[in-house]
């Protein structure tokens, strides 16, 4: 089968983005999303990794991943793998439902055939040429019906440690992600050796500090591309050496180039 990665984004109703992927790796590295992520496995089996432990999800599994939860997804068989992801603006979601999700808990459910078919139909309808008001009501109806009300989810709770110095380093990276940051710099700021800095940061956030920074850059680049910003300017604003460096990094996290991503929106 032909590998496919496609994106859908409605500029008139920018509260969600849809990604469809089949028979190709969509992200090479551990990563997170700023949005609430809803995934539907349509074919094959997916290994989703959290905290170094892999969990199997297969056809008809619905997965809810809260914002900024570090994870990685890989297929058992790349030639028989298909899924759809819907990324939902978390601020919009909270405003509508006044519901905060535990950011250390992944939810999942094995759907019966009728629910599986209905959700696939909902996803297809979200790509139709509805006006933005109708599309918003449609998305609210979908979330209420399949996330808030009716489906019983199981959960995987992910433990996290509390380290004040490491948490302060994360805040520093949040505020300076578009700058060149080195381990030496982080070690000087925190007073922690580079070895223990990486080790403890990964214990809390399940990712190294510099990979966390790269994730922030990737999510920022996605937002800028949606707004039609020039790719070269995005690269400069994010502190990349050149446009090709940004393109290579973007593809590692998304499975597609920035230009292909934008053309699919």
pLDDT digits (tens, 9 = 90+) for 17-68: 999 988 776 665 778 899 999 999 999 998 888 766 788 999 999 999 999 8
Query: Do 4-157 and 164-205+208-264 show the same overall fold?
Result: no
Is the pLDDT at 3 greater than 70, yes or no? no
Is the pLDDT at 2 greater than 70, yes or no? no
Stretch 97-108: mean pLDDT: 80
Q: Please report, for the chain, the start and end positions of each structural domain, with discontinuous segments joined by +.
A: 4-157, 164-205+208-264
At 114 the pLDDT is 92
More confident residue, 125 or 42: 42
**Band of pLDDT at residue 131, cut at 50, 70 and 90:** confident
**Band of pLDDT at residue 159, cut at 50, 70 and 90:** very low
Stretch 154-167: mean pLDDT: 61
Contact by Cβ (8 Å): 13, 86: no
Reported as a single tens digit per residue, the pLDDT across 206-229 is 888 999 999 999 999 999 999 889
More confident residue, 117 or 202: 117
4-157 architecture in CATH?
A: Sandwich (2.60)
Is the pLDDT at 85 greater than 70, yes or no? yes
CA geometry: angle at 80 spanning 75 and 83, to 5°? Answer: 65
3-class DSSP state for residue 262?
A: helix
At 158 the pLDDT is 46
Fold exhibited by the domain 164-205+208-264:
Arc Repressor Mutant, subunit A (1.10.10)
Write down the pTM of the prediction. Answer: 0.65
At 162 the pLDDT is 46
- The whole-chain average pLDDT of the chain stands at 85
Residue by residue, DSSP assigns 61-128 as EEEEE-TT--BEEEES-TTS-EEEEEEE-HHHHHHHH--PPPTTEEEEEE--HHHHHHHHHHHHHHTS
More confident residue, 114 or 151: 114
Lowest mean pLDDT among 123-132, 228-237, 251-260: 123-132
Lowest mean pLDDT among 154-158, 231-235, 255-259: 154-158
The answer for 208, left when phi > 0, alpha when psi is -120 to 50, beta otherwise, is beta
Please state, in angstroms and rounded to a whole number, the distance separating the CA atoms of residues 123 and 63. 14
């Amino acid at each position: 089968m032909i590998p496919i990665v496609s994106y859908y984004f409605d500029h008139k109703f920018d509260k969600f983005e849809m990604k469809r992927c089949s028979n190709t790796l969509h992200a090479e590295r551990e990563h997170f999303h700023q949005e609430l992520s809803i995934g539907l496995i349509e074919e094959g089996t997916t290994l989703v990794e959290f905290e170094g432990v892999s969990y199997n999800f297969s056809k008809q599994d619905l997965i809810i991943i809260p914002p900024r939860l570090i994870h990685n997804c890989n297929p058992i068989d790349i030639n028989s793998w298909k899924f759809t992801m819907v990324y939902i603006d978390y601020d919009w979601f909270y405003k509508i439902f006044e519901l905060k999700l535990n950011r250390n808990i992944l939810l999942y459910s094995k759907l019966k055939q009728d629910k599986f078919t209905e959700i696939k139909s909902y996803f297809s309808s979200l790509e139709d040429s509805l006006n933005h008001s109708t599309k918003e009501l449609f998305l609210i109806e979908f979330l209420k019906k399949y996330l808030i009300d009716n489906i019983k989810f199981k959960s995987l709770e992910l433990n996290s440690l509390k380290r004040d110095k490491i948490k302060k380093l994360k805040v520093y990276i949040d505020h300076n992600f578009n700058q060149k940051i080195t381990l030496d710099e982080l070690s000087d700021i925190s007073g922690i050796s580079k070895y223990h800095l990486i080790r403890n940061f990964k214990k809390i956030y399940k990712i190294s500090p510099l990979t966390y920074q790269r994730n922030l850059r990737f999510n920022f680049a996605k937002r800028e591309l949606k707004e039609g910003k020039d790719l070269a300017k995005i690269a400069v604003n994010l502190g990349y050496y050149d446009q090709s460096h940004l393109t290579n990094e973007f593809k590692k996290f998304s499975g597609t180039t920035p230009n292909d991503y934008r053309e699919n929106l």
